[in-house]
A and B are shown apart, each in its own frame.
Chain A
Amino acid sequence: MYVEHDFLQPRQETLKLEQKVTDYFEQWREPVYRYLVAAFGAAAQAEDITQEAFLQLYRYLHAGQSIANVRAWVFRVAHNLAINQIKSQQFVTPLDDETWEALRRSYQDAGPSPEQKLIQQEKFDRLRIALSSLTIAERQCLHLRTKGLRYREIAEILDLSTTTVAETLYRVIEKLAKESYG
């Protein structure tokens, strides 16, 4: 009456892989999505691209390929998809004046005392200026680093050398520091 184990293998494997990809998706979809929005400024497409990156992950693993660093792989695929699909948004800054004003109003409630609020607001205004002065490559490096990726992972995702990533990140820090301290 019991079924031969061999028959069950493909179905179980598929289910296992499906579950694995779903787990990865739940774990990393937010960072990937946020990276895409921050670096490319296209919220409408970022969700689709993120999902597509994980679907590609399934196809890739299903084809029997192995991936040493799944997180970097997904970021890289999402990044490349975004480059192909969000051509027109290449030069868009993620925070335009209108959005910024709306955000400013929303975080005004934060902060314990009026004086501290003011200081924080000024700091944020300066940071926003610094961020808008970043080049696309700088923005991408910064947001990938913020998502916890190592330099060599960032290099792999953006197809740069590790040295370039290090130099770019240093420029970013300099720009941020310059705005904060003059």
Chain B
Amino acid sequence: MDNLLQNGLHGDGQHPPREQLLLHVDRELSPKEAAYIETHLGVCWSCRARVSKIEKSIADFIEFDGAVLTPHLSSPPNGWRGFDRGLEQVVAESGRRSWLSIVFGPLSRFFSRTRLIVMPPLWVRVATGFLVAIIITALVLRSNQVPMVSASELLRNATAAQAAKLHATAEPVVHQKLQVRRLTSASARVETTNWETWHDTTKGRFRQSIEDSSGRRFLPPANGDKTAKTDPAAEPVPPLVLVELAQLLAANRMDPQRPLSAASYQSWRDSIESKHEEVTRAQLTDQLDALLLRTAPASQVKVGQVAEATLSVRAQDWLPCELRLKIRAEEGERIYEITEQASEVISLAKLSPEIFAEPPIVEPPNPVAAPKPSPSSVPTPIPMKANPAPPPIPMATAELEIEVLSLLNQVGATLGEEVSVARILDGSLRVEGVVETAERQREILAALALAKDHPAIKLQIETPEEAAARLQQLRRPSDPVTVQIQEASPTSSAIPLDAEVRRYLTAQATPADKLDEAVNQFANRTLKRSRQAMLYVWSLRKLVERFSPNDLRTLDPQARTKWLALIGEHAQGYQREIAALRQELSPVLNVEAAADEMVGEIADESDLARAVLRLNELGAATDEAIRAAFTLSASGSPAIKSPQFWRTLSNAMLLAQRIEKASQQLKGATNTERR
């Protein structure tokens, strides 16, 4: 607190700053400072009164806390029941206890206690000796069968076993025959799909097929592969269960191409903050011993997230053989079971060449002319991606997102819907948009030049022509596109504020023959401004909502400063538009009203977020009133004429000022406070 002493304590006759009195009350001052204050209090009645006011406030709060808050809060809903079990699990997980310690631990307590009293009789010692021998034998036998391990150890061993199997083969391709079963709480039907996959681990290629009553069919890539254009009509549609499963796996940080792998399980497991885990023993249907790792997030999960997962590994070779996922769904829960039917690692040289053969190229302009491959007889091999980088997927950080936003802001591309920036579930940062001209496209791409090669960024900035061409390719030729355009029929031919605007413009000496046009222009200008103001507010809201409090707390200072700068700039932009609006509208309506809303203190990011959300409400209300007043509609007296509208406008203006100021203050604090 030395700095307060330096800043605050002055010579004779001056009072110490009030904050220092609280520090004194809380015994937070150094002995030197405390002695000074003590001396001052001895002579100064007003400071003593202040101290007693502080003490009284504290006493009042403590009384309130004791009488109201504590009795209200004192009992946790489950009475701490889960802790002992949780601790036992953590203890078991934290370290594999040696069997010696398991046996001798409890015994040692027995011996240490008995030794203090009297040496046990000979028969007790002999019996104990036998008992120990039996337990040791049982444990040794048991550990020979299936060793018990912790969750992390199990995954480590399974990962190592999978890697070892790959190393043993040159140019290894992992070939798995899997069965996928889906059970939902909504229906009793079990969906079963036979799924076969090939992973070329050296070239990163992936192929998959399904098998049903009509035979084996190879599946097209899950996402459009731009290099190889195949005839979409000829492609078999993947079963819904697999599409759904792939989405769920990706959303839960698992590997959609190799869900039955320790690495995929580990990736999901690492993404959960706190979890309950247990390793149990079980026997597989083919009489083989297995270890089951069950992991469940400790807190409640959202729809689409894994509520519980179980990975089974064979005890003899540690290789994963079954994955069971319990997913929270709208209708209750869904269970997916992926069971290995057969698995092999074969050398690429020995693999049938048709598996990874290049796909036939189909020319887009005349797809009918290309010979259609017969899906049931000869499989149409389509690589999943030209060169897909298998997981780990690079993760986009909040810092990266802010960097991209900041770069886009330099070319004015963060307002509105021109370019969207979003961190998506697979961990990448998707930057995409359709811009009006090729020139604008170049401008935006140039602004992003520094960031665009980042592996976590997926960039797609297109012109309308490019977007249309891409959509054309995605669309099946058989899909007819009909666009129905409905004529809007206004119920009235004049805007609700027509009379007022007309009167104002006439007073401004607008010639009568130009009046209609001038009214139109005025209305358009106002609407445009209001929309522009809303773009600032929406962007502000997106800026505060896209980062969690934790993101912001852990942000590096530079990114944080940039984030605050973006907030400040947008708040300023809003004020500019609102000031212009007010200047134009006020003489037309002759109404004004001052702000009447108290703006709470904005001391941190949470307050800032709250203020932005409030600004969003106020902004939306004023925008709505403006649109109602200046568009053709049948509404009655427009809200824009009421003092309430003007109060709201003033409140919004004041709040935007405060947001801008707070962003500057927090920026300053970031620079000085972060150590």
Q: Give residues in A with beta carbon < 8 Å to B.
A: 1-3, 7-8, 10-12, 14-15, 18, 21-22, 25, 29-30, 33-34, 37-38, 43-48, 50-52, 54-55, 58-59, 62-63, 80-81, 83-85, 87, 90-91, 94-95, 99, 103, 106-107, 110, 123-124, 127-128, 133, 135-138, 142, 145-146, 150-151, 159-164, 166-171, 173, 176-177, 180-181
The CA of A28 and the CA of B613, in the complex, are separated in Å by 36
Nearest CB of chain A from residue B56's CB, rounded to whole Å: 7
Nearest CB of chain B from residue A180's CB, rounded to whole Å: 6
- CB-CB contacts below 8 Å: B10-52 with A: 18-19, 22-23, 26, 28
The CA of A58 and the CA of B93, in the complex, are separated in Å by 11
Nearest CB of chain B from residue A75's CB, rounded to whole Å: 16
Nearest CB of chain B from residue A121's CB, rounded to whole Å: 11
A83:B549 contact, CB within 8 angstroms: yes
The CA of A80 and the CA of B129, in the complex, are separated in Å by 51
Among A10, A44, A128, the most chain B Cβ lie within 10 Å of the Cβ of A10
If the complex has contacts A3-B104, A7-B101, are A83 and B550 also in contact, measured as CB distance less than 8 A? yes
In the complex, B639 has a CB within 8 A of chain A: no
Q: Which residues of A contact B70 (CB under 8 A)?
A: 34
Q: Which residues of A contact B100 (CB under 8 A)?
A: 7
The CA of A2 and the CA of B58, in the complex, are separated in Å by 60
Q: A52-B86, A59-B90 are in contact. List 9 more A-B contacts (CB 8 A).
A: A18-B87, A55-B90, A58-B90, A83-B553, A151-B23, A163-B1, A163-B4, A170-B18, A173-B58
Partner of A127, one of B60, B76, B77, B273: B60
Q: Which residues of A contact B600 (CB under 8 A)?
A: 133, 135
The contact string, 1 if C-beta is below 8 Å from chain A, for chain B 543-575, is: 000001110010000000000000000000000
B28:A48 contact, CB within 8 angstroms: no
In the complex, B298 has a CB within 8 A of chain A: yes
Q: Which residues of B contact A48 (CB under 8 A)?
A: 82, 274, 298-299
The CA of A87 and the CA of B73, in the complex, are separated in Å by 20
Nearest CB of chain A from residue B261's CB, rounded to whole Å: 26
Q: Which residues of B contact A123 (CB under 8 A)?
A: 60, 64
Among B56, B90, B548, the most chain A Cβ lie within 10 Å of the Cβ of B90
Q: Which residues of A contact B553 (CB under 8 A)?
A: 83, 159
If the complex has contacts A52-B274, A87-B548, A136-B604, are A12 and B68 also in contact, measured as CB distance less than 8 A? no
User: Chain B: which residue is nearest A50 at the CB level?
Assistant: B76
B604:A137 contact, CB within 8 angstroms: yes
B94:A58 contact, CB within 8 angstroms: yes
Q: Which residues of A contact B669 (CB under 8 A)?
A: 164
A59:B94 contact, CB within 8 angstroms: yes
Nearest CB of chain A from residue B122's CB, rounded to whole Å: 10
The CA of A14 and the CA of B105, in the complex, are separated in Å by 10
User: Chain A: which residue is nearest B610 at the CB level?
Assistant: A91
Nearest CB of chain B from residue A144's CB, rounded to whole Å: 12
Partner of A25, one of B18, B83, B273, B601: B83
A43:B1 contact, CB within 8 angstroms: no
B60:A87 contact, CB within 8 angstroms: no
Nearest CB of chain A from residue B210's CB, rounded to whole Å: 39
Please classify the interface of chain B as helix (H, G, I), strand (E, B), loop, or mixed, using the class held by over half of its residues: helix
If the complex has contacts A83-B549, A91-B610, A151-B28, are A14 and B68 also in contact, measured as CB distance less than 8 A? no
The CA of A59 and the CA of B601, in the complex, are separated in Å by 40
B97:A14 contact, CB within 8 angstroms: yes
A166:B74 contact, CB within 8 angstroms: no
Q: Which residues of A contact B609 (CB under 8 A)?
A: 90-91
A166:B28 contact, CB within 8 angstroms: yes
A167:B19 contact, CB within 8 angstroms: yes
What is the total number of residues of chain B having a CB less than 8 Å from a CB of chain A?
72
A166:B22 contact, CB within 8 angstroms: yes
The contact string, 1 if C-beta is below 8 Å from chain A, for chain B 88-125, is: 00110011011011101101100100010000000001
Partner of B53, one of A81, A145, A181: A181
B53:A58 contact, CB within 8 angstroms: no
Q: Which residues of B contact A142 (CB under 8 A)?
A: 61
The CA of A55 and the CA of B88, in the complex, are separated in Å by 10
B57:A177 contact, CB within 8 angstroms: yes
Partner of A8, one of B101, B548, B549: B101
In the complex, B62 has a CB within 8 A of chain A: yes
Q: Which residues of B contact A83 (CB under 8 A)?
A: 549-550, 553
Partner of B67, one of A3, A14, A107: A107
Q: Which residues of A contact B107 (CB under 8 A)?
A: 3
A37:B67 contact, CB within 8 angstroms: no
In the complex, B487 has a CB within 8 A of chain A: no
B105:A12 contact, CB within 8 angstroms: yes
Q: Which 6 A-B pairs have the closest CB atoms?
A: A11-B105, A11-B101, A47-B76, A136-B606, A170-B19, A176-B57
Q: Which residues of B contact A34 (CB under 8 A)?
A: 69-70, 73-74
Among A15, A46, A47, A133, the most chain B Cβ lie within 10 Å of the Cβ of A47
In the complex, B133 has a CB within 8 A of chain A: no
In the complex, B597 has a CB within 8 A of chain A: no
A47:B73 contact, CB within 8 angstroms: no
The CA of A7 and the CA of B82, in the complex, are separated in Å by 31
User: Chain A: which residue is nearest B53 at the CB level?
Assistant: A177
B72:A127 contact, CB within 8 angstroms: no
The CA of A102 and the CA of B97, in the complex, are separated in Å by 51
Nearest CB of chain B from residue A177's CB, rounded to whole Å: 4
A81:B67 contact, CB within 8 angstroms: no
If the complex has contacts A43-B73, A47-B77, are A160 and B68 also in contact, measured as CB distance less than 8 A? no
Q: Which residues of B contact A90 (CB under 8 A)?
A: 549, 606, 609
The CA of A27 and the CA of B80, in the complex, are separated in Å by 13
User: Chain B: which residue is nearest A15 at the CB level?
Assistant: B105
Among A11, A54, A137, A170, the most chain B Cβ lie within 10 Å of the Cβ of A11
In the complex, B3 has a CB within 8 A of chain A: yes
Partner of B603, one of A8, A10, A22, A168: A168
Pick 8 A–B contacts, CB within 8 A, sort by A. Answer: A8-B101, A43-B76, A55-B87, A94-B69, A107-B67, A136-B604, A166-B28, A173-B54
In the complex, B78 has a CB within 8 A of chain A: yes
User: Chain A: which residue is nearest B79 at the CB level?
Assistant: A47
Q: Which residues of A contact B74 (CB under 8 A)?
A: 30, 34
Among B58, B69, B74, B97, the most chain A Cβ lie within 10 Å of the Cβ of B69
Q: Which residues of A contact B602 (CB under 8 A)?
A: 135
User: Chain B: which residue is nearest A54 at the CB level?
Assistant: B83
B606:A11 contact, CB within 8 angstroms: no
The CA of A30 and the CA of B299, in the complex, are separated in Å by 20
Q: Which residues of B contact A18 (CB under 8 A)?
A: 87, 91
If the complex has contacts A45-B299, A133-B600, are A162 and B673 also in contact, measured as CB distance less than 8 A? no
User: Chain A: which residue is nearest B101 at the CB level?
Assistant: A11
Nearest CB of chain A from residue B548's CB, rounded to whole Å: 5
B76:A46 contact, CB within 8 angstroms: yes
In the complex, B363 has a CB within 8 A of chain A: no
The contact string, 1 if C-beta is below 8 Å from chain A, for chain B 593-631, is: 000000011111011011000000000000000000000
A138:B603 contact, CB within 8 angstroms: yes
Nearest CB of chain B from residue A72's CB, rounded to whole Å: 15
The CA of A8 and the CA of B273, in the complex, are separated in Å by 33
In the complex, B65 has a CB within 8 A of chain A: yes
